[in-house]
Structure 1
Amino acid sequence: MLLICHAAYARDTSSDSILAGGTLKPTDAFDMGAGHVDPLRALDPGLVYDMGARDYVVFLCSLGYTQAQIKSMLLPSPGVDTSCGGDESDLDLNYPAITVSDLSGSTTIRRTLRNVGRIKNAVYFASVRSPQGVHAVVWPRLLLFSRRKERITYYVTMIPLKRSQGRYDFGEVVWCDGHHRVRTPLIVHVNTTMDGGSSSGSLGGLQVA
């Protein structure tokens, strides 16, 4: 299964925010996901988030399903590993959006991108727009794809800076190679403050304060 979030646009033809029907408020990720699909750009997406049966098994494990229950949901397929390791996180489902509905401390989420572009030796650089009240860090900030390395995993650590007062806030991670723009929405609900209003953490030796 291929999940494409970047063959889409989130602005109208005048570069203004797309408005939601009925309310006419500026749309967010809950209204239109990563945006409206652009069919021409979808023909050459550059990067995709792809998933197989094992990814869904791990997701079900993270929700508390047993191996027996998971086996009962799958069609007979001897090649699918239905075991659970006990350390799975539902946040790590390789979906083209990152949603944390109960951010109470520094949280790291994993995603894996696959290069399906015509250029196999591609270099992508990351930019981040943190949701309000959150500090988001992406590591690594540079992805080097090759013919032998078409899948690369990256991590996003989100650190709450203040309470979001019962609302969801939105940001994004964008990967660019000069031609493709791969956008992943960040959707976060913060339920606490850390250390009396200050936050600190680390990722790969990088200190955040």
Structure 2
Amino acid sequence: VTVHFIGSLEDGTVFDDTRARHEPYTFRVGLGFVIGGWDKGIPTMMKGERSLFLMDSSVAYGAQGAGWKIPPNATVRFDIELLGWEEIDDMGPDDVEPEWEAPLVGRDDVGEGGKGPNGKYTWERNGLEVVVKAQIPDDTVPKDIKAEFFPKRIFVSVKGETLLTGTPGLDLDWEECYWDMSREEEIQDDPQAKLWLLIHLHKKDAEKVRWPDFLLLDELES
């Protein structure tokens, strides 16, 4: 399904807004890729419908919350507009598990990963994590970077332009995910050196799993 949504806390504080980013969100409903309240609520909607959902923490982000924007045990509001959907035929119980389910390789999961479909970034396997590398404008400062990490969602923008967004190929240990910036290693002191953004995506159950052959599930579905 494809939706626009605005997520906010009970006091009105907005923590996510796809309309502000001009970027609808697409995902598979009913398979646990999103919070439980979405899996239960969105199937009740009709195409073009816009509804307001008030979700208890038990069907939202639970006792752990999500990042610094959503506190533990938070009740959240979602203003959701159902833009459309694509039906998947002949799905049975065996189709729920993706064909690319990772073998147990853990720390040995190293090497080249691939390139983003838009050419804006590359990624590589680095054992317990995946590292995404993107060249960014030379005058970028930390406040120009906006990043949100959730177990089943990533969003990163630079100077207001979306660099990376979607459902990661594996669930993330979001508390261990982070980003930093670096000049080219061999010429760190050269102000003309290229500036890179490095996004570190730490895998949940990192000791056991191998990242699939794509960075984002959205790439597989596109």
Shorter-chain TM-score category? under 0.3
* Greater relative contact order structure (CA < 8 Å, 6+ sep): 1
- TM-score, normalised with respect to structure 2: 0.25
- TM-score, normalised with respect to structure 1: 0.26
